[in-house]
Amino acid sequence: MTVRATKRSAGLLLFRHTEDGLEVLLGHMGGPLWAKKDAGAWTVPKGEYEPDEPALEAARREFREELGLAPPDGEAVALGEVVQRNGKIVTAWAVEGDLDPEAIVPGTFTMEWPPRSGRRQEFPELDRVEWFAPDRARAVIVTAQAAFLDRLAEHSG
């Protein structure tokens, strides 16, 4: 019997206050599998980490890797964990800050595409990022991660 370790990811949910209210920064997952999807295709910028790495350090590292920008220095507010449908445990922190979505330089990953073609192609981890009002964010974020929006609202309320 093979026991597989549960994959863990950590990320930062950037938020800002505007004249129109609270906004959060989400990234659209890159690659051909997500290209034509909107609902459920947006995520907190995050990535996997090893058990010996502190989760908050991993979240800050992954923010830099995913967006190509330094994470903001503000207070990190713990938003807890969620378990996604694929079994991955995601831990997130909210950090107040601002950035221009046009300034990102996304990290990349390589996969065989098209399937069974033997060709390997490189794709961005996140093909774009956008600021969303909470209601719009809820409509597009990975289902389990919507709990982070609720927890942020409780903190900001």
Mean pLDDT to the nearest integer, 65-75:
94
Tell me the mean pLDDT in the region 4-31: 93
Q: Which residue has the tokens 């549960």?
A: 6
Res. 119: pLDDT tops 70: yes
CA 35 to CA 25: how far, in whole Å? 19
Q: Which residue in 139, 103, 141, 152 sits closest to 27, CA to CA?
A: 141
Instruction: Quote the pLDDT of residue 136.
Output: 97
Q: Give the amino acid at 8.
A: R
pLDDT attached to residue 1 = 52
Nearest Cα residue to 25 out of 46, 55, 47: 46
Average pLDDT value for the chain = 94
Q: Which amino acid is at 116?
A: R
Average of per-residue pLDDT across 55-69: 96
pLDDT at 20: 92
Q: pLDDT by residue (tens digit) across 71-96?
A: 999 999 999 999 999 999 999 999 99
